[in-house]
Structure 1
Amino acid sequence: MSQPPYPPQGGQYMPNGRPRPGATQSAPGAPSFQQQPRYIDYGNPRAYDTSVRPASGLTAARFAPAQIQRPDQAQPQSAWSTQTRRVQEVSQNPTQLPAVSILVWISAIVLGFALLLVLGYFFLEFVLTASSSPVWWPVTAFLAGISLLVIALVMFLADRWDPQPFPLLLIAVFWGAAIAAFGSYWINSLNSLLVYMVTGSEAAMSFAGPVISAPLVEETTKGAGLLVLMLLARRYFNGPLDGLIYGSLIGGGFAFTENIIYYTRILEEAGGAGVLILFIMRGVLNIFGHAIYTACTGVIVGFVTRKWGTIMGLLVFIPALIPGMLLHAAWNFTAGLGGGMAMTVLMYGTKMVVSFIFLLVIIALIWDESRLTRVRLGDYANQGWLTHEEVDMLATWKGGREGKRWAAQIGAKPVMKRFIRESADLASIRQRLLADGANPKVVQIERNLLQRLTSNRQELLSHAR
């Protein structure tokens, strides 16, 4: 169930929220927040219910239970609910929202330079060792970039509900393309060499490299990027959809660099025609391969973080790698079996089915995110911060479209878009407080967002006059 409203302190109301018998009634025209807000039970998704949890142990909240904040002054009337032209007096100096930290921007810039160095290394290696013209290397990079662009566009659409800061998305791509890809390249090469030195068998090396080393090493190096993002900006890592988006971008970045390596290798063996065939196989039919593997880790870490808090999200990292590793190993093992055209058709047909399921999972997680947003914004509506009509507008695709269409008619569409975006952020913060407890820093973020909420509603009313 949604969290019931907390009654105002003082002698006018009893602990159950009802007016105390004999208490002085509110004067006519008194702010509506001084009266008990209309309460609606928005339910509570069982998957994210934090009300039943042990008081100690790994799944216990790190801080005391987070009580939902109540307005301490009259809130503006809802322009969306009433479309009124009256504006009530509210605070004119809201605290500004904290932007992503300078450390996030520095990390994005450093990783960007790292990617340039990695690409420069592979270009130099191609020039020094390949017999083909250096002009071919940019061609292979362009083909690899097409696949990355498609993945990025899909994630952009998935991220529209609660958009993540752009530098964090860059960090995800750069980590996969630079750190994970380059680190895995050398570790896998070393592991294959060690297997050959121990066994003296090329067959053992050919099996151990792709089927054992690659899944273990690559999923770990890619997954480490998720931990980096969580530590850099925990505020924006709030659930399975966030984990899927970050994981997919890390996997897409990794595949970008790996595809360049494979395309340049096949160029030496089969020429331009070989590059085109491999592009269709890797960059089209298997476009979501690495994105899916790392997204599995991201979804699990995101779900556990939302349900049980930050510490459990970090501790579940190793088990969360296993599904992606198994899928990766299964694909590489099947690819090494051979079997001719029939096996190839079966492999890529199966991969396309998995990719279709992956897209369905994205849709399901977007729906799950909107459902939880409605529940958590309902908590604030029950405290008087919002009207229940606004909750329906802010937490549904249909309501959002109608709200932006109406706001455009009064010249306030940018305000409405900001109102919707920051309300989704507020809902995520509320869920984090329920999972982690009343972390003072997060409580302050919630307070800032609530002030922004009031400011956005005030601005919409000023346009509606």
Structure 2
Amino acid sequence: MSMHPRHPASGPSEDPWERTTAPLPSEANPSWMGHVEPGNYRPAPGHQGGPVGAVVPPQVQGAVPGSRRSRSGLLVLTLGGSALAFLSLFLVVPFLLSATGTAGFLVGFVASLLPLSVVLLAVHIIDKWEPEPKRLLYFAFTWGSAVSIAVTLLIQPFFVVAFQFSDQADLQTYMATVQAPIVEEFAKSLGLLILLLLARKHFDGPVDGVVFAFTIAGGFAFTENILYFGRAIAESADPASSFAQVFFLRGVMSPFAHAIFTGTTGLIMGYAARRWHTGASVAAFLVGLLPAMFLHNRWNSMGQGFLVDYILVQVPIFFLAVGGIVLLRVAEKRLTRQRLLEYSAAGWFTPAEVELLGTVGGRRTALKWAAGYGRRQHMKEFLKAATQLANTRQRILSGRDVSLHQAEERQQLQRILALRAAVTG
């Protein structure tokens, strides 16, 4: 397997990162996800056949501007998220114990791990092409399972005070169909907004938005399930039967309910983050709340005709969500392949290598080949680096913070050659 860049014909030396304009190739937009405006397009920097040090201007070698800021952003999210989650437990845990009792809490906790595992497995599958940093996924989960629950508990009393109901049934309906969709979706999606503001480098597309949203929603549903499962045991004269009914409803029939609600917000925010600047992306947070709240309201509004509504409305919504995620994955792969082809045209990869790096079958073949030489881990890092490089190029072509992303591109191209050497031995 060739792992060496082809070299363009020799010619006058020039700065390969100098801003140049070029016509927008017809294949530059392989899907709706990676749309590039003609005025933002520029060729990939050329590989001149020498070591990368000769290609990269000396004044920009070394630390990449913004990389320290990116690491500090991850650190702030990790530490800040952990602190908020820890403080939230002082509110969340007593609330759960008071509603479920110790036995109900323990049973609910264990039972809630099952639907959580299903959601996290889906996150792993969706995130497999371009895995997000584990620290960000940790933040997302702790936000959903602790912080968003605490925010909900703090805000929801204001909804009760604001509206007076003489009938308990009307109050319960109001809390389920108005308060819960508004407060819970706001609390969950607030974590998405924080990720967008502090980890923009990693939150730059619809797939990222769905991954983070599913993780947050999975954490929220996990804690909420502890409440419902535990309360079914604590408050029923027939705990086993009540628990089985609630578990079937929430753990079997609807493990992805919260994920689909919040996933619509993450999708809209991710699409906005790819196309526009931070201000418009923040506005997308508010817009993205609307479909999430609507879907949440429709779910909680199902009453005596629950089974009919579930089959005719909720099941089609679920399959529509699955189809949408599949389309997102396909678009993401096409975008990666196209951007790598542009680096191939500049001499960094051969076309055959792009097929290995930019397709599922090619990656499987590459990993199998590398495993035969004891270099599977090196190949995995090479595949990940190539995907990150393609995403960096997409950010460059978006026209946002171009010089910052070009500096990141320089460092990534250096790493690509180093990883290439490790793979080939």
Shorter-chain TM-score: which interval? 0.7 to 0.9
Distance in 2 between residues matched to 1:143 and 1:385, nearest whole Å: 51
Distance 1:157 1:406, change over 3 A: same
Shift of 1:208: 2.4
Q: Name the structure 2 match of 1:395.
A: 358
Per-residue CA distance 1:317-339 (angstroms, 9 max, x = gap): 211211111111111112xx324
Distance in 2 between residues matched to 1:10 and 1:106, nearest whole Å: 42
Counterpart pick for 1:112 among 76, 82, 96: 82
Contact 1:309–1:432 under 8 Å retained in 2? no
Q: Name the structure 2 match of 1:237.
A: 203
Q: Name the structure 1 match of 2:280.
A: 312
Counterpart pick for 1:260 among 223, 226, 241: 226
Per-residue CA distance 1:365-403 (angstroms, 9 max, x = gap): 111110000111111111111111111111100111111
Q: Name the structure 2 match of 1:45.
A: 30
Q: Name the structure 2 match of 1:69.
A: 45
Distance 1:276 1:116, change over 3 A: farther
Distance 1:355 1:238, change over 3 A: same
Distance in 2 between residues matched to 1:181 and 1:427, nearest whole Å: 37
Q: Does 1:421 align with 2:421?
A: no
Match of 2:301, SS state, is: helix
Per-residue CA distance 1:172-212 (angstroms, 9 max, x = gap): 1111111212211232233123312xx43434422322212
Shift of 1:353: 3.5
Shift of 1:238: 1.9
Distance in 2 between residues matched to 1:8 and 1:352, nearest whole Å: 61
Distance 1:106 1:304, change over 3 A: closer
Distance in 1 between residues matched to 2:401 and 2:49, nearest whole Å: 22
Distance 1:222 1:289, change over 3 A: same
Distance in 1 between residues matched to 2:328 and 2:376, nearest whole Å: 27
**Paired letter, 1:290:** H
**Paired letter, 2:241:** A
Per-residue CA distance 1:265-323 (angstroms, 9 max, x = gap): 32233223312211110122110011111111111111122233444322222112111
Counterpart pick for 1:156 among 97, 117, 124: 124
Distance in 1 between residues matched to 2:114 and 2:312, nearest whole Å: 21
Larger Rg: 1
What is the TM-score of this pair, normalised by structure 1? 0.77
Distance in 1 between residues matched to 2:226 and 2:296, nearest whole Å: 19
Counterpart pick for 2:244 among 276, 279, 282: 276
Distance 1:285 1:155, change over 3 A: same
Counterpart pick for 2:260 among 287, 292, 303: 292
For residues 183-262 of structure 1, what are the structure 2 equivalents within 5 Å? 183-196=151-164, 199-262=165-228
Q: Name the structure 1 match of 2:17.
A: none
**Paired letter, 1:107:** L
Aligned positions, number: 398
Shift of 1:114: 3.9
Q: Does 1:460 align with 2:423?
A: yes
What is the TM-score of this pair, normalised by structure 2? 0.84
Q: Does 1:412 align with 2:375?
A: yes
Distance in 1 between residues matched to 2:204 and 2:95, nearest whole Å: 41
Distance 1:146 1:363, change over 3 A: same
Distance in 2 between residues matched to 1:402 and 1:75, nearest whole Å: 28
Distance in 2 between residues matched to 1:177 and 1:310, nearest whole Å: 26
Distance in 1 between residues matched to 2:91 and 2:279, nearest whole Å: 38
- Which of the two has greater helix per residue? 2
Q: Which runs of 5+ in 1 are unaligned?
A: 12-16, 18-39, 54-63, 77-88
Distance in 2 between residues matched to 1:112 and 1:415, nearest whole Å: 32
Distance in 2 between residues matched to 1:308 and 1:368, nearest whole Å: 19
